[in-house]
Structure 1
Amino acid sequence: MPETFWTVRWPDGTSEQLYSPSSVVGELFEPGRAYPLPEFLFRARIAMERASDRVRRVHGHPCRLALGQLAAIEAAAARFAEREDAEVACLDISR
C-alpha cells in the first residue's frame, strides 16, 4: 500500500497537503479538477474509509491516520458549508 500525499485548494484559496496510507485517492480524485464541496466530501469519505479498510486487511486494525485525516477534512470543509458555490480543487497526487 503506497502512502499517498495529495494537495487540495480550499474555497478560500488556501492549499493543504493531505495524507492517505493507500493510493486509493487516485481512484477518486483527478489532479487539476475542482469538486463541489458535497461531492468532495463524499469522495474523501470513500477514499479514507477504503484506505483504512485496506490497512485493516493487512494489519488487522483500521488505520487511525486515515480516519484522523478524514476528521480533519470534515472539520476544514465545515468552514465553507454555508457557501453554495464552494469547490475544492485537487491540485496534485503523489506517491
Structure 2
Amino acid sequence: MPVTYLHVRWSDQREARYYSPSSIVTEHFEAGVVYALPEFLARARRALSEASERVARKYGYACSAAQDQSKAIERDARRFAGQPDASVEILGFSR
C-alpha cells in the first residue's frame, strides 16, 4: 500500500497536502479537476475510509492517520461554511 499525498488548492487559494495510507485516493480524485466543496468532502470521506479499511484488512487494525486526515479536511472546510460557491482544486498526488 503506497502512501499517497493529495495536494489541493482551496477556493481561498490556500494549498494543502493530505496523507493517505493508500493510493486509493487516486481513484476518487483527478488531478486538475475543481470539485464543488460538498462533492470534494464526500469523495475525501469515501477515499480515506477505504484507505483505512485496506490497512485494517492487511494489518488487522484501522489506520488512525487516515481518520485524522479526514477530520483535518473537515476542519479546513469549515472556513467555507455558508459559501455555496466554495470549491477545491486537485493539484496532484505524490508519494
RMSD of aligned Cα (Å): 0.6
Residue 37 of structure 2 is aligned to residue 37 of structure 1: yes
Return the offset for 1:81.
2.0
SS of equivalent residue, structure 2 residue 22:
coil
- The aligned residue for residue 82 of structure 1 is 82
Q: Map residues 51-70 of structure 1 onto 2, 5 A cutoff.
A: 51-70=51-70
CA deviation profile, 1:19-69 (whole Å, cap 9, x unmatched): 100000000000000000000000000000000000000111100000000
**TM-score with structure 2 setting the length:** 0.97
Write the distance in 2 (CA, Å) between the matches of 1:79 and 1:36: 14
Partner of 2:80, secondary structure, is coil
Alignment identity in percent?
Answer: 52
Which runs of 5 or more residues in structure 1 are unaligned? none
Runs of 4+ more than 2 Å apart: none
Give the length in aligned residue pairs.
95
C-alpha distance in 1 between matches for 2:48 and 2:81: 20
Question: Residue 20 of structure 2 aligns with which residue?
Answer: 20
